[in-house]
Amino acid sequence: MPVRPITIAGEPVLHRRAVDVEQFDDELRSLIADMYETMDEANGVGLAAPQIGVGLRIFVYGMANDDDVPPRGVLVNPTLVTTKVSGAEPDEEESEGCLSFPGESFPLKRAEWAKVNGYDGEGNAVEFEATGWFARCMQHEFDHLNGTLYVDRLNAQYSRKARKAAKVNGWGQPGLTWMPGVDPDPFGH
């Protein structure tokens, strides 16, 4: 279960739709184990396969919640339905970060509720409802599977700040990664 490098904004796999998993086998279970290990080492609450350079529709999460959902899980080939997102401007309490946009965080409005369907690593159906920050996590990781980073959803004010951060950090080109457990934690955990 090796920790894998995390891709940074600009890597093509992060910006295109991931493909469905077709086989639930030992190779998939090994990938999922690597994803958990990488997420844990990076102090993340979620990690999608494209974030480690794999263009498959899989994400793992590790987040306590009030929804009676196990605090740790995997979703393979998920679907997601949400309530409408409020039209109000986001505030600082709604700031998100992303391991593929390391060290930065920006406010973003998200739906307060999500219904998630998919499969676990064995191919068993998984279905649950998520609320609050857990719903935010589900939406964030699901977006990765569709080639969308949270910074792609920011309002004009925060989008400008995100583009400036990307420029200052030299992101936006293929081949950039950081290694959890080796490189400094970009979020200071």
Q: Which residue positions form the known binding site?
A: 98, 140, 144
Q: What angle do CA 156, 14, 121 make, to 5 degrees?
A: 125
Show the tokens assigned to 188.
Answer: 């200071």
Residue 104 known to be catalytic: no
Chain centroid offset of residue 124 CA: 22
DSSP string spanning 31-98?
Answer: HHHHHHHHHHHTT-SEEEGGGGT--BSEEEEE---SSS--SEEEEEEEEEEEPPPP-SPP-GGGEEEE
Calpha distance 130→112 (Å, rounded):
8
The catalytic position among 37, 96, 104, 141 is 141
| Plot region of 57 (φ>0 → left; ψ -120 to 50 → alpha; else → beta) | beta
Calpha distance 154→76 (Å, rounded):
27
Annotated binding site for Fe cation: 98, 140, 144
The residues annotated as belonging to the active site are 141
